[in-house]
Amino acid sequence: AQSVTQPDIHITVSEGASLELRCNYSYGATPYLFWYVQSPGQGLQLLLKYFSGDTLVQGIKGFEAEFKRSQSSFNLRKPSVHWSDAAEYFCAVGPYSGGGADGLTFGKGTHLIIQP
Amino acid sequence: NAGVTQTPKFQVLKTGQSMTLQCAQDMNHEYMSWYRQDPGMGLRLIHYSVGAGITDQGEVPNGYNVSRSTTEDFPLRLLSAAPSQTSVYFCASSYSRGVGYGYTFGSGTRLTVV
């Protein structure tokens, strides 16, 4: 079965500093990879996704992520964070392979704190 | 505004009570699904539907029922609530089956079972 690991439960970054959130996955084939962001009390919003092609993908809000097959990683980056980026970030892989279901397997999330 | 609407936003149940969490989308999406989110666990798939009249189980289906009588609605039923079902529930929809189309999530229902 597939799995997603986000090694960092919490990350604190100063406003204006660069950001990298780590994501490692285990998947039996070429995965579809996603990053979602969840603001407090809100649902999840898609930041970006990777299916194939260029391994560096651009998303909304100035985020980008790089797919590295050799490292089974899909790390999320932003060159300069803003206070409004404080949120929970989830990496996900799909499709879900348990029992033929369609869906995503999510990591446990990384809570991003922005220091002024 | 087009999107996924979940009701109620908050609910407290007593053990053994039943209730239905509502989910409606107005984007004519074929695919709809329910996830639960627990602290430190990420999101886990409960049930999903690839179209009206078609539903199937996800990763954690026990204790939950679903039906899909229309394209727009995908309610989640708890027949006999248990404290282990205390969670935040998210409904998500997509244009079609397959994760490639991307999901639109509702804002969630926070359920507490006492």
pLDDT digits (tens, 9 = 90+) for A75-112: 999 999 999 999 999 999 987 654 445 688 899 999 99
pLDDT band at B32 (very low <50, low <70, confident <90, very high): very high
Structural contact between residues A104 and B103, judged by C-beta atoms closer than 8 angstroms = yes
* A75 DSSP β-pair partners: A66
Strand order in the sheet with B4-7: B4-7, B19-25, B76-78, B64-66
Contact at 8 Å (CB) between B61 and B67?
A: no
Chain B nearest C-alpha distance from A86 (Å): 17
Task: Say yes or no for a CB contact (<8 Å) between B41 and A96.
Answer: no
Give A-chain residues touching B45 at CB under 8 angstroms.
96, 101, 103-104
A46 inside 8 A of chain B by CB: yes
The pLDDT, as a whole number, for residue A99 is: 45
- pLDDT greater than 50 at residue B26: yes
Residue B94 dihedral angles phi and psi, to the nearest 5°: -150, 155
pLDDT at B7: 96
Residue B53: pLDDT over 50 = yes
What gap in Å lies between CA A37 and CA A30, rounded to an integer?
Answer: 23
Q: How confident is the model at residue B91 (pLDDT cuts 50, 70, 90)?
A: very high
A43-57, A87-101, B42-56, range with the lowest pLDDT: A87-101
When scoring B97, B99, B103, B107 by the number of chain A Cβ atoms within 10 A, the one with the most, hence best to mutate, is B99
Q: How far is CA B86 from CA A89, B96, B107, in A?
A: 22, 30, 17
Secondary structure class of A62 (helix, strand, coil): helix
pLDDT (mean) for B38-50:
90
Mean pLDDT of all residues in chain A? 90
The rounded distance, in Å, linking the Cα atoms of A75 and A91 is: 9
CA contacts within 13 A on the Cβ side of A56? 4
Helices and strands: H and E segment counts in chain B: 0, 11
Q: Which of B1, B2, B63 is nearest to B34 (CA)?
A: B63
Give the mean model confidence (pLDDT) for residues B4-8.
96
Of A4, A41, A44, the CB nearest to B105: A44
Between A16 and B50, where is the model more confident? A16
* DSSP symbol at B81: -
Tokens of B46: 């409960």
Single-letter residue type at B84: S
- Choose the mutation target among B33, B74, B89, B103 for the interface with A, i.e. most A CBs under 10 Å: B103
Question: Rounded CA gap, B15 and B37, in Å?
Answer: 20
